[in-house]
Amino acid sequence: MMTTKIVTDSSCDLPQEVAKELDITIVPLYVQVGEKTYRDGIDISPEQIYNDMYSNDSVVPTTAAASPHDFAETYSKICHDYENIISIHVSSKLSSTLNAARQGSEMAAKINCRIEVIDSKLATIALGLVAVAAAKAARAGQSMQNILDNVSRTIPAIQVFGMLDTLKYALRGGRLGKVGPLLSSVLPVKPIITIRDGLVSPVGVVRTRGKGMERLFDMVSSAVNVKEIGIAHSAMEGEVRSIVDKLKSIVPNVIPTVANLGPVIGVHGGPGSILMAFQQEISDQLDTMKKPLVSLPSLHSIKEGLTHYIQKDTIRPAEFATGTL
């Protein structure tokens, strides 16, 4: 029997079958629509959220972390069967989930079970890849310390990039920080985003969806020794199948994990969002890219050149960060 149990939260967007196979416990976060509150992935599905958002602009879902009690109850149940728990969560800069998990671990401290709570500094399927790596190590019988070491090396080895089909939901929720008002003046564009230092940051804009997908594929192609790929989406299934086929041609030895982009993250991206996360071999993380991926121009240079960037459909990173969920 495994002695270490992996726990994460529903913002990881892992498919249920993957979590079940690897014995990963997922604590649901909350989605509120109007006066109703739902448990993410239990009481409400991504499809329901996106259908409501697409058909009714007055629908403005909000999200909330699980409570410390939710985590304490989860940990208490697990500790009957496991000696250790490693609880890995969405970036603390994006959500208060990590703080709730830590409080929950303190509430469960009297139980004879060691609990370690980790800030992944990631979100959505990128967080999912970290949980999967930890669960595979646990299933292989590794010690808790070895698993913790593995997680600390895995997190910086994961890159995540995505494309939003529209700026509407990100602007409505304030997700694009200082760059939001600037981009809103040149709609319609499709932002390319990443997660850097625990924050969601725009790294460029394109005019068309096709150009945006080209940029995402270029980013995967520029990586070396890709070990795992994850896709989280709120797009049409036919498009997703084409994306998977393209990724298989880029990285033929890796089968992508495909998941629906859950509402905890998806309410800020809206329908049509695509996120790709890729994990490189840990030994190569200090030299993760064949060429420099991005540089960071100043806010002034982005303002001066934004119109030109949009016209040329080029990727230019922006030195901005979002607020918290």
DSSP 175: T
pLDDT of residue 140: 96
Task: Answer yes or no: is 109 within a domain.
Answer: yes
Encode pLDDT of 209-243 as tens digits: 999 999 999 999 999 899 999 999 998 999 999 99
pLDDT of residue 316: 37
Task: List Cα–Cα distances, 72 to 28, 100, 106, in angstroms.
Answer: 13, 9, 8
Task: Answer yes or no: is 325 within a domain.
Answer: no
Q: How is the beta sheet containing 62-64 ordered, strand by strand?
A: 36-39, 30-33, 62-64
Please report which confidence band the pLDDT of residue 72 belongs to, taking 50, 70 and 90 as the band edges.
very high
127 & 9 share domain? yes
Which of 156, 190, 219 is the last residue in one of the domains?
A: 156
pLDDT of residue 174: 53
133 & 194 share domain? no
90 & 170 share domain? no
* In the predicted structure, residue 272 carries a pLDDT above the cut 70: yes
* CATH number where 231 lies: 3.30.1180.10
The distance between the two most distant Cα atoms of the chain, rounded to a whole number of Å, is 61
Looking at the 3D structure of the chain, how many domains does it have?
A: 2
Please report which confidence band the pLDDT of residue 282 belongs to, taking 50, 70 and 90 as the band edges.
confident
Lowest model confidence (mean pLDDT) among 39-43, 116-120, 206-210, 317-321: 317-321
Task: Give the strand pairing for 274-280 and 226-233.
Answer: antiparallel
* Predicted structure pTM score: 0.85
CA torsion through residues 272, 273, 276, 277, sign: negative
78 & 215 share domain? no
Q: Which residue has the higher pLDDT, 31 or 171?
A: 31
Which of 124, 156, 188 is the last residue in one of the domains?
A: 156
22 & 122 share domain? yes
118 & 163 share domain? no
pLDDT of residue 119: 98
- Whether 231 and 275 have beta carbons less than 8 Å apart is answered as yes
150 & 28 share domain? yes
260 & 187 share domain? yes
* In the predicted structure, residue 280 carries a pLDDT above the cut 80: yes
3-class secondary structure per residue, 36-100: EEEEECCCECHHHHHHHHHHCCCCCCEEECCCHHHHHHHHHHHCCCCCEEEEEECCCCCCCHHHH
Token pair, residue 259, equals: 């998941």
Token pair, residue 18, equals: 């993957």
215 & 127 share domain? no
Q: Which residue has the higher pLDDT, 109 or 325?
A: 109
Task: List Cα–Cα distances, 153 to 146, 149, 280, in angstroms.
Answer: 11, 6, 11
* CATH number where 97 lies: 3.40.50.10170
Encode pLDDT of 118-163 as tens digits: 999 999 999 999 999 999 999 999 999 999 999 999 999 999 999 9
How much is the average pLDDT of 293-310? Answer: 41
* In the predicted structure, residue 325 carries a pLDDT above the cut 70: no
pLDDT of residue 168: 77
CB atoms within 10 A of CB 319: 17
CA torsion through residues 95, 97, 98, 103, sign: positive
In 299-315, which positions are buried (b, 16+ CB within 10 angstroms) versus exposed (e)?
Answer: eeebeeebeebbeebeb
User: Could you tell me the residue range of the domain that residue 280 belongs to?
Assistant: 157-312
* In the predicted structure, residue 285 carries a pLDDT above the cut 50: no
Task: Answer yes or no: is 236 within a domain.
Answer: yes
